[in-house]
Amino acid sequence: MQYNNSPQLSVLLPFHNETDWLSEAVESILNQTFRDFELILIDSKATAAAAAVACDLNLRDERIRIVEANAPGISLALNTGLIHSKSDWIARMDADDWSNPMRLQKQLEYLHQHPEIGLIACQTSVHPDCETGQGMLSFMNWQNGIIDQDSHFCNRFIESPIAHPTVVFRRSLIESYGPYSELEIPEDYELWLRWMNNGVHFYKLREPLLCWRDHAQRLTRTAKACRSDRFFKVKLDYLSPFLTEIQQHRSLYICGANRHIRKKSLLLEESGVRITGYTDVVKRNAGEKAFLPANQIHAGDGRFYISLVSSRGKGEEIRSFLIEKGLEEIRDFILAAG
C-alpha cells in the first residue's frame, strides 16, 4: 500500500523487548478496516531481536515508519512519536496487545459524530494466549464499567479509568495542554487527570475491541513509575487543589480511620489540604481530629467526605452508603482510593 503523506490517523506503538508479540500487535493494526493511517514504531532502546522484527515489518507496508527515541522510557518514546506524527488524530497501541479489526473505524466514527469528545477508549478483554489473576480481572471489569464522561470524572481518583493502548485522541489536546510527562510517574494516568482537570470529555465504547496481554514483564508490573506511591503522588497533584477549593466552604472528613488511611491523610495535609476529622462505622481513635460516627452522616451537614479506602469493592460499598444517606457524588463526596 502506498504511503500517504497526509494520513488521517497516527498510531503510536513503542517497542523495547516484545520480540514474541510485536508482529501480532502490528498485524492487528495493519488489518484494520480503517486504512488511512501511519503506524509509527518507536524504538525505545530496543533489543537487537525486537529491532530486527520491526525492520522486517517495516519492509512489508509503507504505512509503517520506525523512529528512534534517544533514551529508554515509555514517556520519551511516546513524545518522540508525537513529534514525528503527521495527523490530527492520535491512536495508541502496545507491542504486546491485539486490536480488533474494527477498533479504529468504530472509534473514529464516534469521534466524528461527537465533536465534544476529546478522547475515546474501548473496553478490553484478556488475550486468549495468557492467564491473568483475579486482581487483574477485577481491575479490567472496573475499567470496562466506566463509560461516559460523568463516570470517568467521578472515578478518576480511584485508579486509571482507561487502558492506555485503547485510546484515540485529538492532537489539539497535546497542543493545548502539553505532551506526556517525562517524570518517573504513570504517564498516562497523569495525562488523563490533566485533561479532565481542563474539562476534556472522555468516552468508552461498550465493546472489548482490544485484547490486553497480562504478563510478568509488562511495564505496569515492572516500571518504577507504576508503583503505588507514584500513582498516589499523581493523585495528590490533582486531588489536593480540588479539595483545597472545597475546604473554603466545607469541612473535610476522611472515610475510614485505620493507620494506613491516616498515613495517606497526612500526605494530603502536607500538600495543603486541611482535614477536620474522620468517620467510620466503628469507633476509631482519631487523635487530635474530630470523629464522626457514620450513622450521623446526612445530606446538608456541611461536610465533604473523601474515601481513601483501597480494599477492592469497599469503595463501591462506601459510595452506595453515602448515596443512601442523600449525598451526591462530587458535590458531597469523592472516592480517592489509593
Q: Class assignment of domain 228-335?
A: alpha beta
Q: Averaged over 193-211, what is the pLDDT? A: 98
Q: Averaged over 259-265, what is the pLDDT? A: 89
pLDDT score of 314 more than 90: no
Q: With cut-offs at 50, 70 and 90, classify the pLDDT of residue 65.
A: very high
Return d(Cα 46, Cα 80) in angstroms, integer.
14
Q: Which residue has the higher pLDDT, 82 or 282?
A: 82
Q: Averaged over 61-72, what is the pLDDT? A: 95
List pLDDT tens digits, range 138-178.
899 999 999 999 999 999 999 999 999 999 999 999 999 99
List pLDDT tens digits, range 101-118.
999 999 999 999 999 999
Return d(Cα 234, Cα 185) in angstroms, integer.
7
Q: Averaged over 182-187, what is the pLDDT? A: 94
For CATH 3.90.550.10, the residue range(s) in the chain are 9-226
- What's the chain's average pLDDT? 92
Residue 133's pLDDT is 74
Asked if 46 and 74 count as a contact pair (C-beta separation under 8 A), the reply is no
Q: With cut-offs at 50, 70 and 90, classify the pLDDT of residue 248.
A: very high
**36, 185, 16: which is closest to 95 by C-alpha?**
16
For CATH 3.40.50, the residue range(s) in the chain are 228-335
Residue 11's pLDDT is 98
Q: Output the 3-class SS for 241-268.
A: HHHHHHCCCCEEEEECCCHHHHHHHHHH
Which region among 37-46, 121-130, 224-233, 272-281 has the lowest average model confidence (pLDDT)?
224-233
> At a CB cut-off of 8 Å and minimum separation 6, what does 307 contact?
254, 255, 256, 315, 318, 319, 333, 334, 335, 336, 337
| CATH code assigned to 9-226 | 3.90.550.10
List pLDDT tens digits, range 216-238.
555 554 556 557 788 889 999 99
pLDDT score of 207 more than 90: yes
Residue 337's pLDDT is 79
Reported residue count of the chain is 338
